[in-house]
Structure formats: structure tokens, C-alpha cells
Amino acid sequence: MQTAASSVNALIGAGIAQADAKRYPEAETTFRDVLIVDPGNKFAWYNLGLLAEVQNRRSDALAYYSKALAADPRYTPAMYNKAILLEGIDLHSALALYQRITTINPKAATAYLRESFVYDRLGDKAKASHARARAVALDRRLATVTGPAPAGSK
């Protein structure tokens, strides 16, 4: 007999497989089925956010990432994706999320890098340079990255 947790895990796995196969409507239904059983499942909300992003439904993606963060305020994947989307809407909110990520995980090199891009766009070159130096110190490969991939530039 399957437990509720193993059923939820099986549904999450099925939804991810459906999304990987680009069967987005099926994946969305599967993740919503998870939420019927477990309304606060951060993984279901997060994956709904990914699906919404892939389908250029940015406002839905933001809402889903927010729900994932309501379920787990320290869930950095949702925080990171939400911050990237916010870069095109509200730089200060995006910056606050990147700072939360690096507080939770001081080794989050890409969060420091994105933070540097936001500071640059805000005109604070000193803070941009400091954040970039932190990113590169953590991951030397980031030294060659020249700029952000703006949300919605597909």
C-alpha cells in the first residue's frame, strides 16, 4: 500500500517526466493533482512556475514561485527564478531576493553574479564590482559571463 508521501513523490516524478517530454498540459494537471493531496507542496508550485515560464506566462510563474516560497521561505530555486523574472519589473525586489539567497547559501555564485547585474543596472558600480568579485571567487567560470539574460528575451 502506497503512503500519501510516496504517492505525492510519484506524481511529482511523473509531472517532471511529462514536462521534460514537453507535454505541458499533462504536467500541469499532474502538479495540480499533487496540490489536491498536499496544497503546500513547494515542488508542485515550483514546477508549475517552470511550466508557466516555458509557456511565457510570466505573471503566473511569479505567482507560482511565490506560493512555493510561502510553503518554504528558504526554497532558493523558487527564489532565484522569481528574482530573474523580477529583474524586468522591479530591480529592488530582485536584488532583495538575490541577497536572501546568498544569506541562506553564501556559496551561491550565480546569485552573486545576478546581484552584480542588478547593481550595475541601478548604477551602483562599486557594489556591482564587489558582488561580481564574490561570484568569480566562488566559481572562476563566471569571470567570462558579460551580462544578464533578460527575462523574456527568448
Candidate from 2-6, 7-11, 33-37, 93-97 with smallest mean pLDDT:
2-6
Q: Which domain holds residue 39?
A: 1-72
User: Do 35 and 103 sit in the same domain of this protein?
Assistant: no
Q: Are residue 23 and residue 82 in the same domain, yes or no?
A: no
Tell me the pLDDT tens digit for each residue of 106-152: 999 999 999 999 999 999 999 999 999 999 999 999 999 987 655 54
Q: Which residue, of 21, 51, 72, is where some domain finishes?
A: 72
Split into its structural domains, the chain has a count of: 2
Do 68 and 78 sit in the same domain of this protein? no
Question: How confident is the model over 46-103, as pLDDT tens digits?
Answer: 999 999 999 999 999 999 999 999 999 999 999 999 999 999 999 999 999 999 999 9
pLDDT score at 1? 43
- For residue 50, the domain's CATH number is 1.25.40.10
Burial degree of 16 (CB within 10 A; 0-12, 13-18, 19+) = middle
Measured CA to CA, the distance from residue 119 to residue 117 in angstroms comes to 6
The domain boundary, picked from 72, 96, 121, lies at: 72
Residue 140 confidence (pLDDT): 97
- What is the pTM for the complete model shown? 0.90
Secondary structure letter of residue 147 according to DSSP: S
Same structural domain, 146 and 102: yes
CA dihedral 17, 69, 113, 99 (to 10 degrees): -170
Which of the four pLDDT bands, split at 50, 70 and 90, describes residue 3?
low
Q: Are residues 106 and 143 in the same domain?
A: yes
Domain end point (choices 72, 105, 124) = 72
Considering the domain architecture, whether residues 3 and 26 belong to the same structural domain is answered as: yes
- Confidence grade of residue 153 (pLDDT, cut at 50, 70, 90): very low
115 and 60 in a common domain: no
6 falls in which pLDDT band (50, 70, 90)? confident
Same domain, 94 and 25: no
Please tell me the predicted confidence (pLDDT) of residue 48: 99
If asked whether residues 78 and 149 sit together in one domain, one would say yes
84 and 64 housed in the same domain: no
One domain, residues 41 and 102: no
